[in-house]
Amino acid sequence: MKKIQNSDTEISLINLKKEFKEIEFEIHKAINRVLEKQWFLLGEELQNFQKEFSKYLGAKYSIGVNSGSDALYLALKSLNFKEGEEVITVSHTFISTVDAIMRNNLKPVFVDIEPDTCNVDVSKIEEAITNKTRVIIPVHLYGHPVDLNHLVEIKNKYDLILIEDACQAHGAEYNKRKVGTFGDIACFSFYPSKNMGAYGDGGMIVTNDEDLANRFYLSRNYGQSKKYYHDFIGINSRLNEIQAAVLRVKLKYLEQWNEKRRHIAKLYNTLLDKNKVLIPIEKDYVKHVYYLYVIRTKFREELKEHLARNNIQTLIHYPIPVHLQLAYKNLIETQSLPVTEQASKEVLSIPMNPWLSEGDLRIVSEVINNFSM
């Protein structure tokens, strides 16, 4: 097979160095504000960022925590469900969606995904509901919103709690409204590689419910209502001031960077040979924010190697569904999830970030189009 890209420079999945160059001055200023103050936790930066993030989404309350995983964990913990009660979610996701359920002694019930978006197949949710079902946690995977209208209908019909795992979907929209505002609670991650990443770990819980918000403010801070007065058992999980200051800068760029991602996806869509690979779709009622650009092929391993030989980085999101992970295999019984298992064998994430040049995209596409078995 001929090598198309000969340069030593890799075309990488993400490119945080280039992002930094674009905002370097503002970042230094923001971090310096915190250093000058020497106030590192639960201060002004966090308060302002929480307000700005709420305003951006169109939600009432945002509560900064230490990670997306903690956001999910605290979201479920605050609801005080009984051990063994059930949470409907997907197996084709990052592990911490399901860890949050297990760590709350609740039972994950997996529903298969739809083959085109790899999001939860909403038509299969009702048959998974039992008298123990309390929560649905859909994941807006890769940045493509789930079918929220139908989910909200099901939530209302069965009186369930809806928690959006929006960790991959900052700024994504469903019917022109931002995801993270449809459920009772939404969880965001600011892991560095996400569309909006901190310089370390970070996360956010979002809700319109004042009582829930008040619980979250306390539960991320040892259940403390005033200094050394603890109303319930919480944890230590706070978005620190340096991260909040950095994220305030990045929030200003999020829309613009998401638009670049969408533009890149459009170019990929026209450049890639649709007989070679399946390209991602965008349903007409959503705004996809392409945290990842995920193609599919039966020859995934071979194509991945072919791209690596040409200095093009790829990753697999995700190679092993949660229900087949070593940690989970003997813990939960589940019915078979054929669409999930098929997807895990075929998906491949190719370079996607706002700093890819048109030249980069042409090279990646040409390398893929030239691939043959």
Ligand X SMILES: *Cc1c(COP(=O)(O)O)cnc(C)c1O
Query: What is the C-alpha separation between 151 and 157, in angstroms, rounded?
Result: 10
Q: Is residue 203 a contact residue for ligand X (CB under 6 A)?
A: yes
Site for ligand X contains 93 (CB under 6 A): yes
Q: Among 50, 54, 62, 97, indicate the residue that binds ligand X (CB under 6 A).
A: 97
CB of 161 to ligand X, least distance (A): 17
Q: In the bound complex, what is the minimum distance in angstroms from residue 189's beta carbon to ligand X?
A: 3
Instruction: Tell me which of 53, 61, 94, 371 binds ligand X, using CB under 6 A.
Output: 94
- For position 191 contacting ligand X by CB under 6 A, the verdict is yes
- Chain positions 340 to 369 lying near ligand X, rule: CB under 6 A, are none
Distance from C-alpha of 28 to C-alpha of 13, rounded to nearest angstrom: 25
What's the rounded Cα separation, in Å, for the pair 186 and 166?
6
Contact 128, 111 (CB under 8 A): yes
Find the shortest distance in angstroms from Cβ 202 to ligand X: 7
Is residue 243 close enough to count as binding ligand X by CB under 6 A?
A: no
Q: CB under 6 A: which stretch of 61-69, 270-278, 308-316, 341-349 binds ligand X? A: 61-69
Which of 5, 12, 96, 349 contacts ligand X by CB under 6 A? 96
According to the 3-state scheme, what is the secondary structure of the chain?
Answer: CCCCCCCCCCECCCCHHHHHHHHHHHHHHHHHHHHHHCCCCCCHHHHHHHHHHHHHHCCCEEEEECCHHHHHHHHHHCCCCCCCCEEEECCCCCCHHHHHHHCCCCEEEECCECCCCCCECHHHCHHHCCCCEEEECCECHHHCCCCHHHHHHHHHHHCCEEEEECCCCCCCEECCEECCCCCCEEEEECCCCCCCCCCCCCEEEEECCHHHHHHHHHHCECCEEECCEECCCCCECCCCHHHHHHHHHHHCCHHHHHHHHHHHHHHHHHHCCCCCCECCCCCCCEECCCCCEEEECCCHHHHHHHHHHCCECCECCCCCCHHHCHHHHCCCCCCCCHHHHHHHHHEEEECCCCCCCHHHHHHHHHHHHCCCC
Q: State the Cα torsion 17-22-26-28 to the nearest 10°.
A: 30
Shortest Å, Cβ 197 to ligand X: 9
- Size of interface with ligand X, in residues (CB under 6 A): 15
Please report how close the Cβ of residue 343 comes to ligand X at its closest, in angstroms. 15
Q: If binding is defined by CB under 6 A, does position 89 make contact with ligand X? A: no
Phi–psi pair at 295, nearest 5 degrees:
-100, 170
Out of 62, 189, 195, 297, the only residue in the binding site for ligand X (CB under 6 A) is 189
Q: Give the tokens for residue 205.
A: 């819980």
Site for ligand X in 125-184 (CB under 6 A): 139, 165, 167-168
Among 69, 119, 181, 221, binds ligand X (CB under 6 A): 69
Partner residues linked to 164 by β-bridges: 186
201 vs 360, which CB is nearer to ligand X? 201
Q: Which is nearer to ligand X, 168 or 353 (CB)?
A: 168
Our finding on whether 108 is near ligand X (CB under 6 A) is no
Binding window for ligand X (CB under 6 A); candidates: 8-16, 63-71, 79-87, 123-131: 63-71
Q: Which residue is nearest to ligand X (CB)?
A: 68
Q: How far is the CB of 290 from ligand X (least distance, A)?
A: 14
User: Could you say which of 11, 12, 61, 68 contacts ligand X (CB under 6 A)?
Assistant: 68
Q: Are the CB atoms for 123 and 116 separated by under 8 Å?
A: no
- Give 165 or 241: the residue with its C-beta nearer to ligand X: 165
Q: Whole-number minimum distance, CB 153 to ligand X, in Å?
A: 23
Measured from the CB of residue 163, what is the shortest distance to ligand X in angstroms? 11
- Of the candidate spans 55-63, 92-100, 225-233, 243-251, the one that interacts with ligand X by CB under 6 A turns out to be 92-100
By beta-carbon proximity to ligand X, the closer residue of 69 and 117 is 69
Residue range at the interface with ligand X (CB under 6 A); choices 49-57, 88-96, 206-214, 252-260: 88-96
**Which residue ranges make up the site for ligand X (CB under 6 A)?**
67-69, 93-94, 96-97, 139, 165, 167-168, 189, 191, 201, 203
